[in-house]
Chains A and B, each alone.
Chain A
Amino acid sequence: MKEVRNYQVIVVGAGHAGCEAALASARLGADTLLLTMNLSTIALMPCNPSIGGPGKGHLVREIGALGGEMAACIDETCVQMKWLNTSKGPAVRSRRAQADKYLYRQRMTRTLFNTPNLTLRQGHVTEILVKEGRVSGVKLETGLEFECERLIVTSGTYLNSRIILGRATWPGGPQNQSPALGLSESLVKCGVSLRRLQTATPPRILKSSVDFSKLGELPGDPDSGGFLWENRLRRYERQISCFLAFTDEESVAAVRRNLSESPLMLENITNVGPKHCPSIDRKIMRFPDQIKHQIFVEPEGWESQELYLQGLTTGMPPAAQQEIVRSVKGLENAIIMRYGYAIEYDALAPGLIRKTMESRALKGLYTAGQINGTSGYEEAAAQGLIAGINAALAIKGQPSYWPSRTNSYMGVLVDDLSIWQKPEPYRITPGHAEFRLTLRDDSAERRLTRDGYLIGMVDEERFSRINAWTTRIEDELARLNDLSLFPSGEMREKLVSSGTGDLKKRVSGCEILQRPGISYNDVKALLADEKDDWLMAPDEIYSLETEIKYRGYFERESEKIAQTKFLESIRLPLAKVDERLASLSPHIAEFLLSDQFDDLNQLVRKNCLSRSDLAILLTVLRQDSEEVVGDPEVLND
């Protein structure tokens, strides 16, 4: 049976990747169908109730800046918001929110239902239809078929998924939903190779069974502002605290007593799981001398009576879970409402997607989220957004959107993913970004909103508001730079008395601000007579101060950025390798012509090029391009 109506874009799965993908596609005007196995669990957070943190929070800011939904949604539905890393520097500070899981789902569902060009339907996709070597539609379990030009698969951890709880194991998706069966076989038939990954979630306990007097309280920060630019100065008066508990000798003993029931020991699960959230069993095994492990006790919503035990992830059987939980001070009488479990699922083999989220194996197919071997809601949403944008751009016949490592964590994420070869799932952190001063949390709009506007994700009105804001900061930067003056006697006195030392020569406003201990407001007080258009908003002042104070670091970083940008601009595969490149090692020519890499920068990052190979390549490319080509010496860093 064939649906009468065809769609331009079909998105399979309504998790965090699927929601962003569907919204982006529909907002860019593509006639979009979002298919989910369960319309009641759209934007489900089956694991932790938090969004943000270093790297992840940067992604959420960027999603908001580019016109995605996650930032707006979490800003409205959080029960706590706070800054992390504020004392460690501008490059790594980031917001983190605790979500009301139920409100988040509701709000995202409402947004989806109210978006023009977007249809939502419940259905279990079991087959990808292919015509003449490209995707032509999908087939449901019911036999129903839908046609489309572009297909975005965001199957999360549902694909052929299996729940593991000690020795017990059964086919099942997160929170015991149905697994997605059949689609794996269809993907393999399309030439997409798969691998098995696993992850796990901790038990949830009843709030009223916890002795909070034994736990440390972790309150939120009312002044943190939200992720979305529009909410940047928003105050969050009403918040719920998180709490901190610790394991001790008793808990470690409890884990040890039960290790024989751990899926890790039973070996009834693949060993390939996320490095960054190991189960408590794995932690005790890997770090046998460490007794004190943190457990964050986090609310799941305003009304929810469940508490999430971040740090006690496990797939051990229920009796073991109860023993371990109750060994923790403060949780002696805890009642487990939902047991933790491990889940094993299918994901794509590494190297099968481009930076645009398009499949290298099948034309018209895009994948986003955990199917690509990532973990985390934020990583999924960012990929969904890129996939949705690119699917819709393709429908319009416009060139794809390629985020860059030099302009966003999204760029770092998709670039890493397209050449990621490690077995374990990928999670974004600032450690992955080589230009993290430029990719600061506060600069997201300056890096991405123009892109969003040009693509069509950001409307005229929002763009002009944000643009006025970024222009204000940039103009002030230029003005302070141009403001050159000889310090007055009064000013010199003030400088000496503030402890930064005398100034005896002509300086710019920036140079004064660069002095240690001098803030923008000090400069303003010193130079009040020189100009009158001073910045007022704290966020604008923060960005400005950061860029002036660490100018040397920015300058060194921007040199490297220019080189990376150039290397990224050489898209692979090349159409041909001409005789000028004959002296390259033969395997380099192979790399340049085969569809394994998206750009030259990836080859450099993978250390595929020797210094001399790179020098030859750049010489030839320099002949072909008017652009300034970087110095191979530096490029080979």
Chain B
Amino acid sequence: MSKARTDTIAAVATPPGRSAIGLIRVSGPAAFEILKRIFKTGGKKTFPLPHCAYYGSIIDPESGFIADKVLVTTFVAPHSYTGENLAEISTHGNMVVVSKVLQIALRNGARSADAGEFTRRAFLNGKMDLLEVEAVSQLLSAGSMSQARLALNQLDGLPSQFVSRIRSRLLDHLVQLEASLNFPEDAIEAIDEHILARDLKKILAELQIFAENARNGSMVAAGLKVALLGRPNSGKSSVMNYMLGRDRAIVTEIAGTTRDTLEESLTIGNYAIRLIDTAGLRQPGDRIEAIGIERTRSAVAEAFALIAVFDGSDLPDADDRLVMAELERSGKPYLVLRNKADLAQKLPDAFFDGKEQIVVSALKGSGLDRLVEELRRIIEDRGLGEYEELVLLGAQQAAALDKALTALERACAGAGRMYQDMLAIDLEEAVRELGRVNGETVDVNTLDLVFERFCIGK
């Protein structure tokens, strides 16, 4: 049973403030009735024909007041964004005009839409599934091209189709199991547990790749975290400031000034990057520094890639070696910067142990193009540039995917060794949770499928 959607909703679709046009959407069974009441078109075209644009006026039927000259576009159910009758009113982009038009629509039978209600209706009417809904919400808030393209890719429905296929393969096995469990004496072919185990392992492997893509997708969507490491006064903050093009971190000559992690967003090419300046790894001198080190460690753990900054004008010290060790330990891709190239160089090449150095002077702004280029290469090496592969999940969907994976892992471990009724419990859970990932009917009646596929009946 779904929510009753008998009323018609209206809302302003463009952001508040001045803009060239304003857009008001009206969706629901009475959308065109309401428009007929408040919209007079001058042209000869009958209103409303499906999928037509009409030029005319919004007139308050009570007062006869002409609110604006507008363009009305009609979309007839089910061929609209919401799957309902939908009218889009394009007004001049003045907030006073826009709100007046909305008011008139509301006074003539429309209800003010709740946040996200247009998309919710689209979902409820089967116009999109949960993955697409998530994509819309991400698209609306995308801050970089990569985020937007990722969302658009998801709107094409490819990840949904994948989840749907995986789910239906699992469902096939579940139905087979349930048939044999529920109707032991009906001549249902015995389940070959080796084939079952093999197939489940294949499905698990595919789902694991999907989950990895979802993790990558959420990284791209949230912005890729890049942590800046370096001993105090190595010039990290200058590097950051240069990359950002403004003064964010406090740059002083006193070591350890940057005690907190600072986070800033920037885009490199198409990618949203979250650059995190860390406090350093030196042995704590006080409590504040100790906290800083802890934060540095967690920033490293969460980072997608690391940039280590070394002072080329100085001899390496214990802190530098700590940083070097941290790069190795983290297992993350990293870039090594020899900073302060404008000063006399004391840092021996041997310190880098064959690691490729990027020579920069943050102060003078030299060598940073190469840094940006290398960072982009790291991103693309990780396959994060291939939007077709990436998946966006909301928090609840990600949790459901996790549960599905856990259940499927249990089923894989158990197939061929565990009783079939336990296997069925795990498969049922995996199928149910996958249904929650893309919002396919959560309520699968396995028994109905058993009857559809097998001739049951003693």
Contacts and interface: CB of A to CB of B under 8 A. Distances in A.
Interface of A: 48, 53-55, 84-85, 88-92, 275-278, 283, 286-287, 290, 292-294, 296, 310-311, 313, 429-432, 436-437, 516, 550, 553, 557, 585-587, 606-608, 610, 633, 637
A587 B420 contact: no
B456 A275 contact: yes
- The 6 tightest CB contacts between A and B, nearest first, are A89-B419, A89-B421, A91-B421, A429-B182, A431-B447, A287-B455
B124 to A, nearest CB: 10
Contact of A607 (B396, B420, B421, B443): B443
A432 B457 CA distance: 17
A54 B182 contact: yes
A54 B184 contact: yes
A431 B182 contact: yes
B49 interface: no
B422 A550 contact: yes
B3 A587 contact: yes
B366 interface: no
Contact of B458 (A85, A92, A310, A587): A310
Contact of A311 (B181, B183, B442, B458): B458
B442 A607 contact: yes
Interface string B430-458: 00100000000011001100110001111
B186 A85 contact: no
Contacts of A637: 432, 442
B419 A607 contact: no
A406 to B, nearest CB: 16
Given A54-B184, A292-B187, 12 more contacts: A89-B421, A276-B183, A276-B451, A277-B457, A290-B455, A429-B182, A432-B447, A436-B421, A553-B422, A586-B4, A587-B3, A607-B442
B1 A286 contact: no
Give the dominant DSSP class at A's interface.
loop
B425 interface: yes
Interface centre among B417, B419, B425, B447 (most CB of A within 10 A): B419
B409 interface: no
A61 to B, nearest CB: 17
B180 interface: yes
A92 B1 contact: no
Nearest to A422: B448
B184 A296 contact: no
A549 to B, nearest CB: 9
A553 B422 CA distance: 8
Interface string B272-316: 000000000000000000000000000000000000000000000
Nearest to B421: A89
A608 B1 contact: yes
B185 interface: yes
Nearest to B1: A608
Contacts of A292: 187
A440 to B, nearest CB: 10
Interface string B379-405: 000000000000000001001000000
Nearest to B456: A276
Contacts of B446: 431
Given A89-B419, A283-B455, A553-B425, A294 B185 contact: yes
A608 B442 CA distance: 13
Contacts of A430: 181-182, 421
A432 B181 CA distance: 12
B422 A84 contact: no
Contacts of B455: 278, 283, 286-287, 290, 293
Given A553-B425, A608-B1, A275 B419 contact: no
B183 A429 contact: yes
B419 A90 contact: yes
B337 to A, nearest CB: 45
Nearest to A91: B421
Contacts, number: 100
A610 B442 contact: no
Interface string B409-421: 0000000010111
B178 interface: yes
A311 B183 CA distance: 13
B387 to A, nearest CB: 29
A239 to B, nearest CB: 17
Contacts of A293: 187, 455
10 contacts: A88-B420, A276-B456, A287-B455, A311-B457, A429-B447, A431-B181, A431-B182, A431-B446, A437-B425, A607-B2
Nearest to B443: A607
B184 A85 contact: yes
A607 B184 contact: no
A92 B421 contact: yes
A283 B419 contact: no
B422 A89 contact: yes
A88 B457 contact: no
Contacts of B421: 88-92, 430, 436-437
Nearest to A605: B443
A55 B396 CA distance: 35
A54 B181 contact: yes
A275 B447 CA distance: 10
Most A C-beta atoms less than 10 A away, residue of B432, B443, B451, B458: B458
A84 B458 CA distance: 15
Contact of B181 (A85, A277, A287): A85
B361 to A, nearest CB: 52
Contact of B182 (A55, A290, A313, A586): A55
A92 B419 CA distance: 10
B444 to A, nearest CB: 11
Contact of B184 (A88, A286, A606): A88
Contacts of A275: 451, 456
A281 B176 CA distance: 24
A85 B180 CA distance: 9
Contacts of B181: 54, 85, 88-89, 92, 430-431
Contacts of B425: 91, 437, 553, 557
Contacts of B447: 429, 431-432
Interface string B174-202: 00001011111111000000000000000
A585 B3 contact: yes
Contacts of B432: 637
A311 B417 CA distance: 33
A557 B424 CA distance: 13
B50 to A, nearest CB: 30
A120 B255 CA distance: 100
A287 to B, nearest CB: 4
Contacts of A294: 185-187, 458
A602 B451 CA distance: 24
A587 B1 CA distance: 11
B71 to A, nearest CB: 34
A288 to B, nearest CB: 10
Contacts of A277: 457-458
A89 B418 CA distance: 8
A283 B451 CA distance: 11
A8 B198 CA distance: 63
Contacts of A55: 182
